[in-house]
């Protein structure tokens, strides 16, 4: 190639660049160069750890969205994440929400706020400010208030238990060749655990042909798990549903089970919620004690998320992708879709888009579609069952999302 042609090409490309720039400038003048999305989660206090993981998920999503050209309907506007600390009390969460709507007036949507009591308080504020909020909190109450601007991406607590129980029974039956008949429930009295346990007691167990032989509720933190474990041992149930929220409670009970010779699968143990599969578990409980333990969660890093899980590992040193990371990652994409549909950076329009959107099968939340019913609940929202296998909690159910085959702890 000669020198002159190279120069001509350069000149041409320069011209092209300039005109592209002009078009872009015109587009920028019509549309905001930036669209602000809120993330209201606890990044200080007792719940800072899960809140931080949520932020990591959101940051990854925003980077991916921007890397792929931002919001196309807004002329490629970049998404910008505004993180607000909800603190560790309901009052702090509510105040933070008020601060969010008062001072970040150009937010188009938000995600938050981890604990369901925080989400309840936060959405009281955002509802009145017409700010759409996506949440992974799964208390039924959140979407039972007739609110228009709250969208629940997880299956509600009641629905999760309903979905999980038949799967657990089927799993037990195929793995051990014997259908479980008796169950024990040991639960703490926090809001999420109570609603899951209540759903089981109020008919779900009976529907699945299970008989409740031990039913114990405790107040965290446990000082001693001996009496609880003794009751379980004397009843010898086929399954134990164990619903802790505090990691130290999980540790106490699991170690006591082991001490009494019930651990490591002697009595298959199933949990609800994320507590028992948090990375922090490994700091206090040995992987052997956790091996085979199952937990039913609203969402988890699953098949199709391998690249994300790897990125989370290298970028943030997280050992695996919990519900907090993957759900919040998904929230940002849903907000992006809603912005594309709304075609303008306006919270009311985004709210309307979320209510009416039908974006097909869900990629980041388990099963169902990216579509919300009149209450704001995601249509067909599924859930995942996660099993501790060799020191890592991996998704084993539903089959289409499973990263590993479930195994039933051997007697």
Partner 1 sequence: MTMRGWRSLLPILVFTALYAVVSLSVTNSYYQLVMTLVPVWAIFGLSWNLLSGYTGLISFGHAAFFGLGAYAVALGQIHFDLSPWVTIPIAAVIGGVAGLLIGFPTFRLQGHYFALAMLAYPLAILYVFEWLGLQEVTLPIKRDNPIAYMQFADHRFYTLVALAMMLGTILLTRKVEQSRFGMALLAIKQNEAAAEAAGINTLAWKLRAVTLSGAIAGAVGGFYAVVLLVVTPQSVFGMLVSAQALTVAMFGGVGTVWGPVIGSVILIPLAETLNAEAGSRFPGIQGVIYGLAIISVILLAPEGLFWKVRDFLRKRSAPPVLAKPDAPDVPVASVAAAPARPKRSPGTGDVVLEVRNLSRSFGGLKAVQDVSFKLRQNEILGIIGPNGAGKTTLFNLLNGFLRPGTGEILLDGREMSGRKPHELCEAGIGRTFQIMRPFLRMSISDNVVVGAYVRARTDAEAKQLATDAIARVGLSGIADRIAGELTTKELRLMELARALAGQPRILLLDETLAGLGHDEANEVVAVIQRLARDGMTIAIIEHTMQAMVRLVDSFLVLDHGAVIVEGEPEAVTRDSRVIEAYLGKKWVAHAPH
Segment 199-258, which members bind partner 1 (CB under 8 A)? 219
In angstroms, how far is CA 56 from the centroid of its own chain? Answer: 13
β-partners of residue 84 are 40
Q: How far is it, in rounded angstroms, from Cα 126 to Cα 94?
A: 10
Q: Is 98 in the site for partner 1 (CB under 8 A)?
A: yes
Q: Is 116 in the site for partner 1 (CB under 8 A)?
A: yes
Handedness of CA 381, 250, 193, 233 (dihedral sign): positive
Tell me how many degrees the CA angle 208-213-217 measures, rounded to the nearest 5.
100
Tell me how many degrees the CA angle 284-287-292 measures, rounded to the nearest 5.
125
Q: Which stretch binds partner 1 (CB under 8 A): 5-13, 68-76, 93-101, 382-390?
A: 93-101
Q: How far is it, in rounded angstroms, from Cα 135 to Cα 151?
A: 6
- Number of residues near partner 1 (by CB under 8 A): 39
Q: Is 96 in the site for partner 1 (CB under 8 A)?
A: yes
- Of 316, 308, 310, 312, the C-alpha closest to 333 is 308
Q: Which stretch binds partner 1 (CB under 8 A): 78-86, 152-160, 164-172, 319-327?
A: 78-86
Q: How far is it, in rounded angstroms, from Cα 286 to Cα 365?
A: 30
Q: Which of 36, 80, 99, 371 touches partner 1 by CB under 8 A?
A: 99
Q: Which of 83, 175, 349, 404 touches partner 1 by CB under 8 A?
A: 83
Q: Is 322 in the site for partner 1 (CB under 8 A)?
A: no
Q: Where do runs of H (alpha helix) occur along 224-380?
A: 226-235, 247-259, 281-284, 287-290, 306-316, 323-342, 347-356
Q: Which of 27, 191, 348, 349 touches partner 1 by CB under 8 A?
A: 191
Q: Which stretch binds partner 1 (CB under 8 A): 122-130, 301-309, 333-341, 386-394?
A: 122-130
Q: Which of 63, 64, 78, 95 touches partner 1 by CB under 8 A?
A: 95
Q: Is 128 in the site for partner 1 (CB under 8 A)?
A: yes
Instruction: Output 159 or 387, the one with its CB closest to partner 1.
Output: 159
Largest Cα–Cα distance in the chain? 91
Q: Is 48 in the site for partner 1 (CB under 8 A)?
A: yes
- Of 309, 271, 349, 286, the C-alpha closest to 60 is 309
CB of 335 to partner 1, least distance (A): 19
Do the Cβ atoms of 142 and 150 come closer than 8 Å? Answer: yes
Q: Is 12 exposed, middle or buried (0-12, 13-18, 19+ CB in 10 A)?
A: exposed
Q: Which stretch binds partner 1 (CB under 8 A): 188-196, 207-215, 250-258, 304-312?
A: 188-196
Q: Which of 73, 194, 349, 359 touches partner 1 by CB under 8 A?
A: 194
Q: Is 189 in the site for partner 1 (CB under 8 A)?
A: yes
Q: Is 92 in the site for partner 1 (CB under 8 A)?
A: yes
Q: Which of 127, 249, 318, 331 touches partner 1 by CB under 8 A?
A: 127
CA torsion angle 339 344 350 356 (round to 10): -80
Instruction: Output 239 or 243, the one with its CB closest to partner 1.
Output: 243
Instruction: Output 188 or 238, the one with its CB closest to partner 1.
Output: 188
Q: Is 124 in the site for partner 1 (CB under 8 A)?
A: yes
Residues 6 or more apart whose Cβ sits within 8 Å of residue 392: 319, 320
Q: How far is it, in rounded angstroms, from Cα 212 to Cα 227?
A: 18
Q: Which two tokens stand for residue 339?
A: 């912005």
Q: Is 146 in the site for partner 1 (CB under 8 A)?
A: yes
Q: Which residues bind partner 1 (CB under 8 A)?
A: 43-45, 48, 83-85, 87, 89-92, 94-96, 98-99, 101-103, 116-117, 120-121, 124, 127-129, 139, 141, 145-147, 189-191, 194, 198, 219
């Amino acid at each position: 190639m000669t020198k002159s042609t190279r120069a001509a090409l350069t000149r041409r490309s320069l011209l092209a660049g300039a005109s592209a720039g002009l078009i872009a400038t015109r587009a920028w003048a019509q549309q905001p160069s930036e669209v602000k999305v809120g993330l209201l989660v606890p990044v200080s206090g007792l719940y800072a750890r899960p809140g931080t993981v949520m932020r990591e998920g959101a940051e990854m999503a925003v980077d991916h969205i921007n890397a792929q050209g931002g919001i196309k309907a807004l002329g490629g506007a970049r998404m910008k994440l505004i993180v607000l600390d909800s603190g560790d009390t309901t009052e702090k969460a509510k105040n933070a929400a008020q601060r969010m709507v008062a001072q970040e007036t150009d937010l188009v949507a938000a995600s938050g706020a981890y604990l369901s009591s925080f989400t309840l308080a936060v959405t009281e504020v955002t509802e009145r400010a017409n700010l759409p909020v996506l949440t992974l909190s799964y208390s039924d109450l959140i979407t039972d208030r007739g609110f228009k601007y709250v969208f629940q991406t997880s299956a509600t607590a009641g629905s999760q238990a309903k979905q999980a129980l038949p799967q657990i029974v089927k799993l037990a039956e195929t793995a051990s060749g014997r259908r479980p008949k008796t169950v024990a429930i040991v639960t703490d009295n926090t809001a999420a655990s109570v609603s899951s346990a209540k759903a089981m007691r109020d008919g779900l167990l009976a529907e699945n042909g299970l008989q409740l032989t031990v039913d114990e509720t405790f107040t965290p933190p446990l000082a001693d798990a001996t009496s609880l474990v003794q009751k379980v041992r004397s009843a010898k149930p086929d399954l134990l549903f164990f619903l802790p929220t505090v990691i130290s409670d999980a540790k106490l009970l699991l170690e006591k089970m082991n001490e009494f010779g019930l651990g490591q699968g002697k009595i298959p143990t199933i949990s609800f919620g994320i507590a028992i599969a948090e990375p922090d578990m490994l700091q206090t409980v040995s992987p052997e004690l956790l091996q085979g333990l199952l937990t039913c969660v609203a969402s988890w890093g699953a098949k199709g998320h391998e690249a994300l899980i790897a990125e989370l590992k290298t970028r943030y040193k997280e050992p695996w992708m919990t519900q907090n990371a993957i759900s919040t990652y998904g929230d940002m994409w849903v907000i992006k879709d809603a912005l594309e549909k709304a075609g303008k950076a306006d919270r009311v329009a985004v709210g309307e888009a979320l209510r009416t959107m039908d974006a097909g099968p869900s990629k980041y939340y388990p099963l169902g579609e990216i579509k919300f019913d009149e209450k704001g609940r995601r249509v067909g929202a599924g859930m995942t069952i996660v099993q501790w296998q060799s020191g890592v909690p991996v998704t084993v159910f539903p089959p289409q999302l499973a990263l590993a085959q479930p195994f039933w702890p051997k007697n």
